[in-house]
Amino acid sequence: MSCVRCSAAVENAISSLDGVVSVSVSYTNGRAEVGFDSERLSLKDIERAIKKAGYEVLLDANAARKREFRRNIFFFCFSLFFSLPFFIMMGFMLAGRHISFMHNGLLQLIFALPVQFVAGWRFYRGAYHSLKNKSPSMDLLVALGTSASFAYSVYSLIIGGDTFYFESSAMIITLVLLGKTLESRAKSKTGEAIEALMDLAPKTACVIRDGEAREIPASEIVKGDIILVRAGEALAADGIVTEGNAHIDESMLTGESLPVFKQSGEKVFGGTVNRSTPFYFRAEGVGSETLLAGIIRTVEKAQGSKAQIQNTADKVSAVFVPAVTVISLITFICTALITKSISDALDNAVAVLVIACPCSLGLATPTALTVGIGRGASMGILIKNADSLEQACKIKAIALDKTGTLTEGKPSVTEIIELTAGAKEFLPYIAAAEAISEHPIGEAIATLSTVRGIEVSDYETVVGRGIRACADGNSLIIGKPEWVEEETKEKLDSSVYELYRGGNTVTVAAVNKKAVLAIAISDKLREDSAASVSRLKAMGIKVFILTGDNAQSAQSVCDSVGACGFRAGLLPEDKLKEIEKLKSDYGITAMVGDGINDSPALAFADIGFAVGSGTDIALESGDIVLAGSGINSVADAIALSRAAMRKIKQNLFWAFFYNTVGIPLAALGLLNPIIAGAAMAFSSVSVVTNSLLLKRVRL
């Protein structure tokens, strides 16, 4: 694809097929994402439609980018070889000297012919397909401009004239090809984040089969294989440690530099690196099922999506080429009538055609988004679509879940009160029931007793309140004190509520409708929580805490981190209502939670940030997934969004400014066509280069 109008042409070709549900084509990374009914349409049908529109289908994006760059290099060098005499001639003319033999029209034709119809053939082909697809592109402008110069020169040569523009057509094509070469090189750098992620997966692995260690290609690993990972090696699959222990560098997933200690029974992930001793693990996720492969798919999908701000540029570019063609024609007619000179009219008309650049407009938004999303991925911030990156910079209020977001998410029991004599004998039953729970508080209670041979039945989770179950024939109710009072119809001792002091969470267990134990549980604040909240407030954002925990615990955390306020004792549906209030009071509101219990609020918020503990995270949750622990990544994501939007606005300003100023200057005869061609060639390069600077912006 030669410019953004090509991507529109491919989109139109695919969307016209019966059975296509959705289609998005990215000019920046050369990818098409298509949703279609497989019963009415096949991939081959889609490929045929793309080829019919005049484009190739290449399944390896990296290979396609390298091939494009090599092809651009070849045709630029070819064009430069035959155009070099014209550049030398122009240099001498600017110095006030002349090379008499180069003013021979036939000699100029010999040099210009291969440039026009070999190196420049791509522009004719592109122009033909753009007209055929009713999506006029940059190729049409270049083909019209250079053909006009070349044709007039041939006509002049035939009638015996001495005014030629062969140098204009040849030099314009050479300069445009130089611009396309530099642009393709710069565009390839916008995809470096994806390439870096792909390179993390090792090509081979040491697998234990039939009692022997064998080095095999990573693609041949199957589920259940036992894999040996030596010190310094990257893991080739996701799995569970079966023997040994090691410190694993998971920075490629989480953005955190410190290695994580892994031992038998714990999860490990493909692409991470063993930084200490050898160990064995059992492969559970292989090939496309690994977490790394999922991250790559998420980033690729996001980079191919379109932000709302891009709509303006797309609307302009849709009418840009026809409008410029009309302006060029008007320029030719007016100049010819005023100056009575066909050569002056042709000069100005060609300059208008070649100064105009729809590419800079088309590249302004997607290149900045691609680089921004890629940089986010390298920091453990997975931005799932372009709209999320665009919206994040506008956030006015943020609601934070408490447990696992502001706190470490690893609660521990700090105190136990017996509400009836000898109540601790029920601990095995309580621990057995909580062992089924996936809630952090349940996991903490489950560690209080060793569970052996206790049969748990009728297990039920009451969202936001607790659990019900039967253990060896005993009915259990375990949860919030208020809920247990409702269920047992008895008033709890005041000592139960005194456990709330110091910000503890309190759980009460009732056996056979009788409250027997009160358990105080504490969850430490993350070290960076207070600093992260302070950073968000410094960005002009109101920060609130929404939690299902008690008011005393919420108040303690709120005071510790310096939040603007809190709401406690909330059920999932209550959090959604609080988000609605915040949106009404402040405007664009974000929710930060663990992506599971907070899913209604995450979905309802303008932006949902799903925070996970390290790699233990669901990619499907939230608009922006934060693989690193702590909420400092939220501030990083917002800072990244603001930096990306600044780049987009800069790009759009210069693209509009360049065309708004350049086209009138060309129409008035103040720009030589060759200078106009050079300016057009480098306008796209400047936009892409400015976007690449996002990699170096301090957040």
Q: What is the pLDDT of residues 654-665, one digit of tens each?
A: 888 888 888 999
pLDDT at 453 over 80: no
CA dihedral 92, 94, 96, 97 (to 10 degrees): 10
What does each C-alpha distance from 23 to 1, 26, 34, 45, 304 come to in angstroms?
16, 10, 4, 14, 10
Report pLDDT for 75: 95
Residues 608 and 468 occupy one common structural domain: no
Domain boundary among 232, 256, 287: 287
Report pLDDT for 620: 63
Range of the domain at 416: 412-522
Which residues are marked as active site?
Answer: 401
Report pLDDT for 616: 47
pLDDT at 27 over 60: yes
CATH code of 451's domain:
3.40.1110.10
Residue 310 maps to a domain: no
Residues 453 and 579 occupy one common structural domain: no
Angle between helices 291-304 and 192-200 (to 10 degrees): 170
657 CB contacts (<8 Å, ≥6 apart)? none
Report pLDDT for 612: 65
Report pLDDT for 629: 59
Residue 497 maps to a domain: yes
Would you place residue 111 in the very low, low, confident or very high pLDDT band (cuts 50, 70, 90)? Answer: very high
pLDDT at 120 over 80: yes
Report pLDDT for 256: 66
Q: What is the pLDDT of residues 147-170, one digit of tens each?
A: 988 998 898 899 888 778 888 889
CATH code of 226's domain:
2.70.150.10
Q: Are 631 and 611 in contact (CB under 8 A)?
A: yes
pLDDT at 645 over 90: yes
Residues 459 and 512 occupy one common structural domain: yes
Residues 440 and 565 occupy one common structural domain: no
pLDDT at 524 over 60: yes
Report pLDDT for 300: 80
pLDDT at 617 over 90: no
Calpha distance 293→110 (Å, rounded): 53
pLDDT, mean over the chain: 86
CB atoms within 10 A of CB 217: 11
- Most distant CA pair in the chain, distance: 118
Residues 530 and 629 occupy one common structural domain: yes
Residue 155 maps to a domain: no
pLDDT at 602 over 60: yes
Which of 305-319, 510-524, 662-676 is least confident?
A: 305-319
Domain boundary among 460, 489, 522: 522
Calpha distance 610→604 (Å, rounded): 13
Q: What is the pLDDT of residues 165-191, one digit of tens each?
A: 888 889 889 988 888 888 888 777 777
Residue 540 maps to a domain: yes
Residue 544 maps to a domain: yes
Report pLDDT for 281: 95
**Class of residue 351 by CB neighbours under 10 A (exposed 0-12, middle 13-18, buried 19+):** buried
Residues 417 and 400 occupy one common structural domain: no
The better pLDDT of the pair 224, 256 is held by: 224
Residues 504 and 473 occupy one common structural domain: yes
Residue 583 maps to a domain: yes
pLDDT at 618 over 50: no
Residue 281 maps to a domain: yes
CATH code of 628's domain:
3.40.50.1000
Residues 421 and 469 occupy one common structural domain: yes
Q: DSSP secondary-structure letter at 287?
A: G
Report pLDDT for 255: 64
What is the helix (H) or strand (E) element at residue 112, kind and residue range? helix 105-114
Edge to edge, the sheet with strand 589-593 lists 381-383, 624-626, 607-611, 589-593, 397-401, 542-546, 565-567
Domain boundary among 474, 503, 522: 522
Number of domains the chain contains: 3
Report pLDDT for 614: 41
Residues 417 and 551 occupy one common structural domain: no
Instruction: List strand residue ranges (DSSP E) for 440-536, in order.
Output: 456-462, 466-471, 474-479, 505-511, 514-522
Residues 402 and 541 occupy one common structural domain: yes
Two structure tokens written together for 152: 């007039």
| Closest by CA position to 490, among listed 461, 520, 516 | 516
Residues 482 and 624 occupy one common structural domain: no
SS3 for 321?
helix
Residue 388 maps to a domain: yes
Q: What is the pLDDT of residues 310-366, one digit of tens each?
A: 777 777 777 888 899 999 999 999 999 999 888 889 889 988 988 887 777 778 888
Residues 545 and 459 occupy one common structural domain: no
Report pLDDT for 380: 82
Q: What is the pLDDT of residues 547-566, one digit of tens each?
A: 887 788 888 889 989 999 99
Residue labelled with tokens 């691609």: 370
Report pLDDT for 615: 44
pTM over 0.85: no
Report pLDDT for 528: 86
